[in-house]
Structure 1
Amino acid sequence: MYNILTDNSLQRALNSDNAAYIDRAVRENYIHGSSITVVLCGAETYKRKFVDWEIYATLLYDHALLGIVLPTCERDWTTAPYLPKLPARLRDNVNSGYAHLISYTTNPQQITVEIEKAITMKRSSLINNKRSQMSRNL
C-alpha cells in the first residue's frame, strides 16, 4: 500500500438533520488541517450535496483541489466535447484555473505529481465559490 494520502473523507452520514451543524462538522472535522481535497468523480458524485459541501469548505480554507475522473464517471452526451459530469463547484474551479483535473490512474507516482501540481497551481484569486450550497442530492 502506498501512503501518499490520508483519507479524511466522511465515512458515514452525520446523525443530524441540522444543516448548519453538518456544514460546520464537515469544515472543522474533515477539511480543516488538510492541504488538499481530492474529489473522486464517479457515476453519482456530481449529485451529492455533501461532496459539494466538502468542496465549498475546501475553497473557504484556500486549500488545493484535485478532481480525479474515475472510469465510472458519466459523460455529458448532449454537447461535444463529451465532458465528464463533475460536481458543479468543482467544474467552476477547474474552469477558473484554481482546481486541477486528471483522469484516473493507478500509478502512485503520477498521483503524487498531480497532487503537487494542484497544490502549486492554486491561487486564491481564482476561487469560484459563488454557488449556493446544494440543499439536497440531485
Structure 2
Amino acid sequence: MSNEPKISIFICYNHIDEYFKNKLNEIIGDKFTINSSPQRYDIKNDFNKYVEELSKENTGARNIFIVLMGSETYKSKNVNWEIDYALHHDACMLGLCLPTNDDYLKRNINTSKMPRQFVNNLLAGYVSYFDWTDEYDNLANYIKFSCNRKNHCHALI
C-alpha cells in the first residue's frame, strides 16, 4: 500500500468505544489520514449540521469509513448518520467487531445488534466485517480488501 495515495480513514464509533478509536489511530495513524465523528455538542442532534460537518472532513475520493462495532453501536444515531453519509458518497466501508461485542471471535454474528444500513450492505457484499486486531498488517489487508470489494458492488441506500 505504500505506493498508493494516502487513504483518508473516517472512524465511526459510539462514545463508549473511544478507547478503540484512539487505539486504531495509534496503529494506523502514521500511514493514513484519520478523521472521526464531529464532536461539537450543538450539532449532535441536528442531522443537517452534522452531515455538513462530515462533509468538511471527507473531501477526498479515497475515503474509507471504519465502523467500530461495540455492544452499543447500533443504538447511536450519529453512527447511523455516518453510515448513511458514507453510502451516499460511494465511500468504502468496513466494520470492526470490537472485543466488547458479544460476536467478537465468533463464526456467526447477531445482525440485530448492528446498524440496519450496515447490515443491508454487508449482506449485499458492499461492506466488509472483521474482528478487531491490534496488528497493522491485518488492518491494512482489511482496508485493501474492503476497497477492492467496494469496487465490484454498489451500495444499497
| TM-score bracket, shorter-length normalisation | 0.7 to 0.9
1:54 aligns with 2:82: yes
Tell me the SS of whatever aligns to 2:32.
Answer: coil
Gap change, CA 1:54 and 1:32, over 3 Å in 2? farther
TM-score by length of 2: 0.69
Alignment root-mean-square deviation, CA: 2.3
Instruction: Tell me the CA shift for residue 120 of structure 1.
Output: 0.7
Give the structure with the higher percent helix: 2
CA distance in 2, matches of 1:25, 1:107: 31
CA distance in 1, matches of 2:38, 2:51: 15
Instruction: Tell me the CA shift for residue 24 of structure 1.
Output: 2.3
Q: Would you say the 8 A contact 1:39–1:68 is kept in 2?
A: yes
Deviations 1:73-97 (A, max 9, x none): 245xxxxx45262211111110010
CA distance in 2, matches of 1:105, 1:125: 26
Match of 2:128 among 100, 106, 115: 100
Moved more, 10-19 or 112-121: 10-19
The 5 A counterparts of 1:17-56 are: 17-26=45-54, 28-33=55-60, 34-56=62-84
Match of 2:42 among 15, 22, 30: 15
Tell me the SS of whatever aligns to 1:32.
Answer: coil
1:118 aligns with 2:146: yes
CA distance in 2, matches of 1:70, 1:54: 18
User: In the alignment, what sits opposite 1:71?
Assistant: 99
Letter in structure 2 aligned against 1:83: N
The number of residues matched between the two structures is 124
CA distance in 2, matches of 1:18, 1:82: 31
Q: Percent identity?
A: 26
TM-score by length of 1: 0.77
